[in-house]
Amino acid sequence: MTSTDEVRRIGPTEPVWWGWGPASEHEPLPDGARALLARLGIPVRPTAPVGLAQVRLPPARLLAAARDALAAIVGSGHVDTHDEARIRHCRGRSTTDLLRLRAGDASAAPDAVVLPEDHDEVLAMLRLASRERIAVVPFGGGTSVVGGLEPARLAEQPMVALDLARLDALGRVDRESGTAELGAGLRGPRAAALLAEHGLTLGHIPQSWEYATIGGFAATRSSGQASGGYGRFDDLVVGLRVATPVGSWELGRAPASAAGPDLRELLLGSEGAFGVITQVVARVRPLPARRIFEGWSVPDFATGIRLLRTLAAADLRPTVCRLSDETETVGGLARPPRSAGPAAAIGTGTADAAQNAAQGGCHLVTGYEGAESAVERRAAEVAGVLLAGGARRLDAAAGPDWERGRFRAPYLRDALLDLGIFAETLETAGFWATLPALYAGVRGALAGSLSSAGLSPVVMCHISHLYETGASLYFTVVCAQGEDPIGSWRAAKAAAGDAIVAAGGTITHHHAVGTEHRPWLDAEIGDLGVDVLRAVKRTLDPAGILNPGILVG
Amino acid sequence: MTSTDEVRRIGPTEPVWWGWGPASEHEPLPDGARALLARLGIPVRPTAPVGLAQVRLPPARLLAAARDALAAIVGSGHVDTHDEARIRHCRGRSTTDLLRLRAGDASAAPDAVVLPEDHDEVLAMLRLASRERIAVVPFGGGTSVVGGLEPARLAEQPMVALDLARLDALGRVDRESGTAELGAGLRGPRAAALLAEHGLTLGHIPQSWEYATIGGFAATRSSGQASGGYGRFDDLVVGLRVATPVGSWELGRAPASAAGPDLRELLLGSEGAFGVITQVVARVRPLPARRIFEGWSVPDFATGIRLLRTLAAADLRPTVCRLSDETETVGGLARPPRSAGPAAAIGTGTADAAQNAAQGGCHLVTGYEGAESAVERRAAEVAGVLLAGGARRLDAAAGPDWERGRFRAPYLRDALLDLGIFAETLETAGFWATLPALYAGVRGALAGSLSSAGLSPVVMCHISHLYETGASLYFTVVCAQGEDPIGSWRAAKAAAGDAIVAAGGTITHHHAVGTEHRPWLDAEIGDLGVDVLRAVKRTLDPAGILNPGILVG
């Protein structure tokens, strides 16, 4: 067995090539959910992905000489040109990405997958790629949902995926300062396991946690479900080590500084367009001694928003806080299938959700992590605010139900795609004063666009990230696929993007820009902002080989 | 009376041209302080500033045509070329700045002071200056202590100060989101008064508060005495409006975003080199219902640092927290003269400080602001940690004493300069694990350098900004002036800068880069960091007229 074969060997936790998670974790949509889809008029049309052998790949454009030069840097066992490796590094995990893969379209696949061992190999690889004009796609977990792995390379330009999987070490742990050096290629669970050996945690658990990586979290400004307690990932970054085509760059000498602009903030969210993050020095906290999850019902979404604002203003944010709107409460996508009882709706359909829905309320999950006494006190204080504001406490299973199912949504999407049903998400954030109009505008734009295409959309929303000045909005859309699901979604997403800009929100709260949000970036950061990004790009990547067309183009 | 005369009319709260604060607030050094100086072997040599008429100004290089063109933009009453205006806009308020001014050296004075009314006038002025190659120094409170107002203009290049004093409006207050639009020229007290009318506060009170401005706070990444409760100023900035030579730039659409790099962080700390901040949208909080200040004695500085780390790790930071080392506790500069009792030492000499000094302890001030119950609970929790760690509570006057004197240090410096004594500060920050070595290294470098010049230095230090991962260190040096105080200080500061870099600290925690910290910027942000700043500068200020040589050059 060659090393290349080692790379190709797919472990039991690796995802299926056409979707999310390993096949062993897949399950069909519950009957109750199918019944709800029928009631909503969303037609079921079972659709299996093509076989791996049927997937269409573009001809590899990487010349043998370039391949040999890459192999000379990383070792021949770490340049993989097999079809499956190329397919597994083709695009990300947006629904349009999956629809294309399932249909056998891997036309955006890289010519090869290169797996450097360390920072210096990444540096050498970028130098070579600059000289040879090879496009390089930095690849962490491959979980982008914004086209961040589908660069706009020039015709005939070779392209390689730079897979950071081997940069997976936990480096120096500074217990006194509360920081740890984490390799960029560490996935969420592995990073958590390594830190847990020291009694520490990042507390960063986005939906994509199972596969997404430390480097990807930083490069896309990820935000996890526990952001209220631990902060967004950009808050957790103390230092960065970056390999660029023009050399190494290390930043982060102090907990705070006035030594000019904070250039870490230029690399956070840079999506591999300025350089490859190879190591993150992150803030780490003690593993929580106690964890509580609670379920609530609030009278309506507007009341819920006011309650969340009250909590944020009083510095009483729960570690986890997730308010579903009326539709999501009914649809139950807030609590995915593994937590479902027998009466499951689309996602959950526990007795609680059904009861909630019947009463017209909105589902709210609150979670607390930390020291025993702090957790109990915070939970009591938040409960005081919620009860005073008209919230009703759900039974004790409601919180833990949510926790059990917290990573199930992408599995549920695969089950829906298997039935020919479209499901996708998009998100934004706004100030409290703009939030109601932002919610109405985006919801209306999505529903309007998809309805006009005759697709019976269900548009659901939740708030899951609170700030003193505002909050995020996370929309989930479920609808029929129709004849052109990709085209229909692109139109709906464009309408939503315009609505976000019109209502004064941000085009993305935690999914990054990629190619999908690029049309609205000028509205977000201004023409001068785009000019500045271009100037930075020219300085760090003069040959323009890094993720061409991603973020800046 | 012309408008120009209006500009020249100096109000009763305006500072003396050669120092800090109005003459009415000046007072001689207390006798006890003079006695301590004598004991320390620091010679007193009374030295008055020269008269205004004796100050030497460079010939104005602004041609009449350019002056007329500027007047056409801002109105002839708002282009001031009088000597006093030029002198009042010459350099900042570092001790070397004051020594030069007091000696009649205003060789770095601008040729004129231009006072635009609004953002559009700033824009037009920058366009004109770019065309005519006039160097422009954005001027807020004029309180830079790092040479931030002394650009390296080319020989014969005209230079004007762009005084933002007229951009002093409170704009839209969004109570629901907790944000307010603040004109860049608003000084600390005026901004506070305007916000107080709405029951709101910024909570940003640096030492320079009386004169420093909103725009300056942002451009230099200021941090105030209450940073533990309200955050650094960069934390408070939600949005920015900036006039650049190539156009307007507005940033900040949401409480958090993943839409690429956070470009606000490129303007925070940009020190007028990339553009002129004309408005800040800042986070505002309700005026605190309760405010408590307490004084403590901890056994020694190392114990105090460990206690502060414990508080920070337990999320128990006081709103204000200030730990003096043994020398500062004795010297008493932690609590300046207006709070002093009859037995005053250099600064305070209250019975408490004297008692503390006699017992060899370190003085610690803790302050809490907020809602009644929250303040009392936090104070009790912190007290529990401090008492368990060996701290002793000082009498009830110790905290309020400190609060009363909190803005007096720069007045004290003037009193020392009047006696021919040198006093200056510098600051840094580091991670908890590096803090002891950083403290020892910088202290040793300052003491060693000044001692070798025969100047009997007293080097004091306090910690006043806590973070989860580390803290700031703020050094105050008092010594004889000797024959060449400016040269001696530059040598000492260079030694301190080298020591900071060697010990892994940041070259500045809240004073910015200016010209003084420029030699260490490469070590702080790397060669690539400097290249990136240059690229941004070229993009936004292609003619290089904005603060040449400041930050980048």
CA torsion A432-A437-A441-A443 (nearest 10°) is: 60
**How many Cβ atoms are within 10 Å of B412's Cβ, its own excluded?**
24
Q: Which of residues 351-380 of B touch A (CB under 8 A)?
A: 374
Integer Rg of chain B from CA: 23
Output the pLDDT for position B402.
85
Output the pLDDT for position B337.
40
> Tens of pLDDT along chain B (553 residues)?
334 444 456 788 899 999 999 999 999 988 888 888 888 889 999 999 999 999 999 999 999 999 999 999 999 999 999 999 999 999 999 999 999 999 999 999 999 999 999 999 999 999 999 999 999 999 999 999 999 999 987 888 999 999 999 999 999 999 999 999 999 999 999 999 999 999 999 999 999 999 999 999 999 999 999 999 999 999 999 999 999 999 999 999 999 999 999 999 999 999 999 999 999 999 999 999 999 999 999 999 999 999 999 999 999 999 999 999 999 998 874 444 444 333 333 444 444 555 555 567 999 999 999 999 999 999 999 999 999 999 999 998 888 888 888 888 999 999 999 999 999 999 999 999 999 999 999 999 999 999 999 999 999 999 999 999 999 999 999 999 999 999 999 999 999 999 999 999 999 999 999 999 999 999 999 999 999 999 999 999 999 999 999 999 7
Interface check B172 vs A, CB under 8 A: no
Interface check B533 vs A, CB under 8 A: yes
Interface check A536 vs B, CB under 8 A: yes
Top residue of A179, A235, A248, A263 to mutate, by most chain B CBs within 10 Å, is A263
Task: List, for residues A391-430, the tens digit of each pLDDT value.
Answer: 999 998 888 888 888 888 999 999 999 999 999 999 999 9
Output the pLDDT for position B5.
44
Task: List, for residues A323-373, the tens digit of each pLDDT value.
Answer: 999 999 988 744 444 443 333 334 444 445 555 555 679 999 999 999 999
Q: Give the residue from B104, B221, B143 showing the smallest Cα distance to B410.
A: B143
Searching chain A, which residue's CA lies closest to the CA of residue B223? A258
Output the pLDDT for position A9.
61
Q: Give the residue from A21, A427, A473, A511 showing the smallest Cα distance to A217.
A: A511
- CATH number for the region B170-286 comes to 3.30.465.10
Question: Minimal Cα–Cα distance from B106 to chain A, Å?
Answer: 27
DSSP B405: T
Top residue of B145, B431, B533 to mutate, by most chain A CBs within 10 Å, is B431
Contact A268 B262 (CB under 8 A): yes
A516: Cα within 13 Å, side-chain hemisphere: 31
Question: How many Å apart are CA B162 and CA B172, to the nearest integer?
Answer: 25
Interface check B262 vs A, CB under 8 A: yes
Top residue of A126, A177, A223 to mutate, by most chain B CBs within 10 Å, is A177
pTM (2 decimals)? 0.95
Strand partners, A366: A294, A321
Chain A CB contacts of B255 below 8 Å:
429-431, 467-471
Q: How is residue A463 written in tokens?
A: 């708030």
* pLDDT, average across residues A309-336: 87
Output the pLDDT for position B355.
52
Interface check B522 vs A, CB under 8 A: no
Question: How many Å apart are CA B397 and CA B339, to the nearest integer?
Answer: 10
Searching chain A, which residue's CA lies closest to the CA of residue B536? A532
Q: Which of residues 441-500 of A touch B (CB under 8 A)?
A: 465, 467-472
- CATH number for the region A290-503 comes to 3.40.462.40
Question: How many Å apart are CA A7 and CA A450, to the nearest integer?
Answer: 42
DSSP B145: S
Contact A431 B174 (CB under 8 A): yes
3-state helix, strand, coil in chain A (%, to 5): 40, 20, 40
Contact B258 A505 (CB under 8 A): no
Identity at B178, one-letter amino acid code: G
Q: Give the residue from B50, B59, B279, B69 showing the smallest Cα distance to B182.
A: B279
Fold of A3-163: 3.30.43
Q: Is the dihedral of CA B110, B111, B115, B116 positive or negative?
A: negative
CA torsion A385-A388-A394-A395 (nearest 10°) is: 90
∠ Cα A204 A207 A213 (to 5°): 60
Top residue of B123, B220, B315, B469 to mutate, by most chain A CBs within 10 Å, is B469
Interface check B256 vs A, CB under 8 A: yes
The domains of chain A are located at 3-163, 170-286, 290-503
Give alpha helix (H) positions in A314-369.
326-331, 351-359
Q: How many residues does chain A have?
A: 553
Interface check A256 vs B, CB under 8 A: yes
Give the contacts of B357 (CB within 8 A, at least 6 positions apart). B329, B330, B332, B345
Contact predicate B108/B147, CB 8 Å: no
Chain A CB contacts of B527 below 8 Å:
247
Output the pLDDT for position B358.
55
Q: Give the residue from A400, A207, A383 showing the smallest Cα distance to A292.
A: A400
Question: Minimal Cα–Cα distance from B36 to chain A, Å?
Answer: 34
At the second CATH level, the architecture of B3-7+21-163 is 2-Layer Sandwich (3.30)
Output the pLDDT for position B540.
98
Task: List, for residues A101-153, the tens digit of each pLDDT value.
Answer: 999 999 999 999 999 999 999 999 999 999 999 999 999 999 999 999 999 87
Output the pLDDT for position A505.
98
Question: How many Å apart are CA A92 and CA A87, to the nearest integer?
Answer: 11
Contact predicate A188/A205, CB 8 Å: yes
Chain A CB contacts of B529 below 8 Å:
249, 251, 263
Question: How many Å apart are CA A85 and CA A103, to the nearest integer?
Answer: 18
Question: Do A170-286 and A3-163 have the same topology in CATH?
Answer: no
Q: How is residue A239 written in tokens?
A: 């230092």
Question: How many Å apart are CA B246 and CA A521, to the nearest integer?
Answer: 19
Q: Name the helix (H) or strand (E) containing B292.
A: strand B290-298
Burial class from Cβ neighbours inside 10 Å (0-12, 13-18, 19+) for residue B17 reads middle
Contact A265 B262 (CB under 8 A): yes
* pLDDT, average across residues A197-202: 98
Searching chain A, which residue's CA lies closest to the CA of residue B524? A253
Question: How many Å apart are CA B234 and CA B92, to the nearest integer?
Answer: 21
Q: What is the ipTM of this complex?
A: 0.95
> How many angstroms from the chain centroid is the CA of residue B303?
28
